[in-house]
Amino acid sequence: MQRAADVFRAGSKVIGVVPTMGYLHEGHLSLIRLAKQRSDVVITTIFVNPTQFAPHEDFSKYPRDLDRDTRLAETAGNDILFVPSVDEIYAAPYQTFVEVKDLTSVLEGKARPTHFRGVTTIVAKVFNITKPRVAVFGQKDAQQAAVIRKMTKDMNFDVEVVIGPIVREPDGLAMSSRNVYLSPDERKQSVVLSASLRRAEEIIASGERTSSMITGEMLRMIAAQPSAMVDYVSIAQDLTLEEVSELRSGMTVLVSLAVRFGPTRLIDNTLVEVR
């Protein structure tokens, strides 16, 4: 892959990379299209990265379908599919990790303490292997986007990080490879994630400035769904991810949440400019 990247670079081709864990859906495909607009050669990586899963999480049962992924990526304009093995990426004895402090101690990082260390390590490795000028990630994983931006800047990677918007099902559920885990009943209830975010946007637009009032309303909506268990509902500054208790005009806040339906954990978010 590095030799192929060298050949593209020697030919002055701009490489765009879309790191994914596969089981591609329309969200991923929108990122591939975005990468295509900004580069000459799009490399989509498919790698279910063990270091970003905790031992009790769903690494082994994470959905995989390489044949389908290959077809879908191609329809979106992907040029190269890079599908390394775990043994290649973490050749034993593997000992090196990239870690972003502070930003990773809240929200997802609090619920999943070793998760972002796995994410930043694999992304740094993918940058070194695919040698991109542009790397595209999705806003669905809002904290991941912030952490990768910070890692890229702090480490002086000469890569432009582009964040693509969330793609949703017709009823509002954010697309996710993990949605396949939901039972039909859970699938219906899961609309509450996006519905509560729309409600938060409305409340903020109507002038509410106290975060606890906004999250309180979201929590009530979620509590009305019998299978939903809240991990967190948060209103935070968009860049530092510090919790905000009172919204102020001119602020952009990240309203985000994580909700469990049985063993399935879903996340969603929206960026709101406070007027």
Stretch that binds a second copy, among 8-16, 63-71, 175-183, 188-196 (CB under 8 A): 8-16
Which of 36, 112, 131, 265 forms a contact with a second copy (CB under 8 A)?
Answer: 131
26 is a contact residue toward a second copy (CB under 8 A): no
DSSP state of 165: P
25 given a catalytic annotation? no
Cα 267 to the chain's mean position, in Å? 9
- Going by C-alpha positions, the residue among 25, 130, 136 that lies closest to residue 83 is 130
Distance CA 208, CA 193 (A): 20
Copy the structure tokens of residue 5. Answer: 């990247």
Nearest CA among 176, 118, 168 for reference residue 148: 118
In angstroms, rounded to a whole number, what is the distance separating the alpha carbons of residues 111 and 230? 12
Verify binding: residue 124, a second copy, rule CB under 8 A.
Answer: yes
Sequential DSSP letters for 198-223 = HHHHHHHHTT--BHHHHHHHHHHHHH
Which candidate, 159, 163, 114, 118, places its Cα nearest to that of 142?
Answer: 163
Cβ at position 143, least distance to a second copy in Å: 13
Tracing tokens 């954990």 back to the chain, one arrives at 265
CB of 140 to a second copy, least distance (A): 23
Q: How many residues of this chain bind a second copy (CB under 8 A)?
A: 31
Indicate the pairing of strand 252-261 with strand 134-138. Answer: unpaired
Instruction: Give me the least distance between CB of 154 and a second copy, in Å please.
Output: 3
- Closest contact distance (angstroms) between CB of 254 and a second copy is 18
Does residue 89 contact residue 19 with C-beta atoms inside 8 Å?
Answer: no
| Residue 7 in contact with a second copy, rule: CB under 8 A | no
Binding segment for a second copy among 106-114, 124-132, 215-223, 258-266 (CB under 8 A)? Answer: 124-132
Q: Which C-beta is closer to a second copy: that of 110 or that of 168?
A: 110
Residues 145-184 that bind a second copy (CB under 8 A): 150-151, 153-158
92 binds a second copy (CB under 8 A): no
Structural element, H or E, at residue 164: strand 160-164
Q: Which two tokens stand for residue 163?
A: 């964040």
Is 120 a binder of a second copy (CB under 8 A)? yes
Instruction: Catalytic residue, from 25, 28, 56, 115: name it.
Output: 28
Are the CB atoms for 1 and 83 separated by under 8 Å? Answer: no
In angstroms, give the least distance from the CB of 123 to a second copy.
Answer: 11
Structure tokens at 88: 């290649």
188-247 residues near a second copy, rule: CB under 8 A: none
The CB-of-166 to a second copy minimum distance in angstroms stands at: 25
- Contact letters for a second copy, residues 93-112 (x by CB under 8 A): xxxxxxxxxxx---------
| Contacts with a second copy, residue ranges (CB under 8 A) | 2, 6, 9-10, 12, 91, 93-103, 120, 124-125, 128-129, 131, 150-151, 153-158
Active centre residues (catalytic) = 28
